[in-house]
Amino acid sequence: MANTPTLIKDPYKKTIFKNQKDLDDFIKCCDPETGHLYFMDNFFYIQHPTKGSMVYHPWDYQKRLIETYHNYRFSISLMPRQSGKSTSAAGYLLWYAMFVPDSTILIAAHKYTGAQEIMQRIRYAYENCPDHIKAGVTTYNKGSLDFENGSRIVLCLLHYCILTSSPSCVHLSQQSFGHLLHQL
């Protein structure tokens, strides 16, 4: 029971690394060039419909999608349904919030339930991260996650959030928003 991660990590609590591997894993997750893929391949848990809780191991096309998120300020993905877009986005957004300080991440959807689904994946993954990897949380609810490093993930309806905030990162969930892209 002592090795079970806590649901959420208290903010500003000193991280204790039990061994050198824990410290090495944390350092690899912090790497601004490759940390996002290392985090997702080792610590990003998903709920598989038949296998239950498992670490997400992205396919090559999902790795390219994640790299696109990481390397380009703007990206639009034309992909089929059920190809792991939302799961890949959830993993990247969680990494971004925990390892890029003072970031504001908006998850926007035409319908609030679409954004809530992605936030649920983020919360599930966060709760299953080992304590030496997860950042402390100051606010934890259905609509937002605020981290001790000043980053936050916020859900919103597209029409209300993008026009009234200055986000570091925006994820538009599975909708056709072409008519609004000029406002970004």
The residue behind tokens 């080792």 is: 42
Alpha-carbon torsion (43, 48, 51, 57), positive or negative:
negative
Sheet holding 144-147, edge to edge: 137-140, 144-147, 152-157, 104-109, 169-172
Identify the structural domains of the chain with CATH numbers, from first to last.
20-183 (3.40.50.300)
Q: What's the one-letter identity of residue 67?
A: E
In tens digits, the chain (184 residues) has pLDDT values of 445 567 788 888 888 899 999 999 999 999 999 999 999 999 999 998 899 999 999 989 889 988 988 888 777 776 656 767 888 889 999 999 999 999 998 888 777 777 888 899 999 999 999 999 999 999 998 888 999 999 999 887 766 665 556 777 776 666 555 555 555 4
